[in-house]
Amino acid sequence: MQKIATTQKKTPMSPAPTEAMDPRIRRTRQLLQDALEKLLSQKDFENISVQDVAQVAALNRATFYDHYPDKSALLECLVATRFRQLLEERNIRFDGCEGAVRTMAIGVCAYLAEMPRPKVASQSGSGQHLETAIVAVMRGMILEGMKSHPGPQRI
């Protein structure tokens, strides 16, 4: 009997809120994000290992790697998830150009002010992950807003 190899695409970043995700995957990723957030309140990102995250989440390291390629990807996902939650809680969205950029900038500032500590953004490299995640969420918001508010057609 011949086995057919199948490949499964790993998606380390959280899907957009409209995408469906298996509840078991969502639960596991939530456990990993919560574990990282807890560890960030205790020590610097650079001093946190994948083993630390897995241990706090009560999961195996292999399970961690089934969901994220490394701890930086988990950090980006955590930031993106928490940032989206803050934007939803404050009803911030791109709904046309007038005032939207200011509103979105306020959302970024509010998130950064509430971000888990200690010194996540001040460390070499981890600030880049925060920026990457925030920019990705903002880009998605702008693209989604542009779809629902098309401008004048140009010739």
Q: Which one of 1.10.10.10, 1.10.357.10, 3.40.50.300, 1.10.150.80 gives the CATH number of domain 23-148?
A: 1.10.357.10
Tens-place pLDDT, residues 111-126 = 777 765 544 545 555 6
DSSP state string for the chain: -PPPP-------SPPPTTS---HHHHHHHHHHHHHHHHHHTTS-GGG--HHHHHHHHT--HHHHHHH-SSHHHHHHHHHHHHHHHHHHHTT----SSTTHHHHHHHHHHHHHHH--SSSTTTSTTHHHHHHHHHHHHHHHHHHHHHHHS------
Tens-place pLDDT, residues 15-56 = 444 457 899 999 999 999 999 999 988 888 889 999 999 999
Spell out the domain ranges in the chain: 23-148
pTM exceeding 0.85:
no
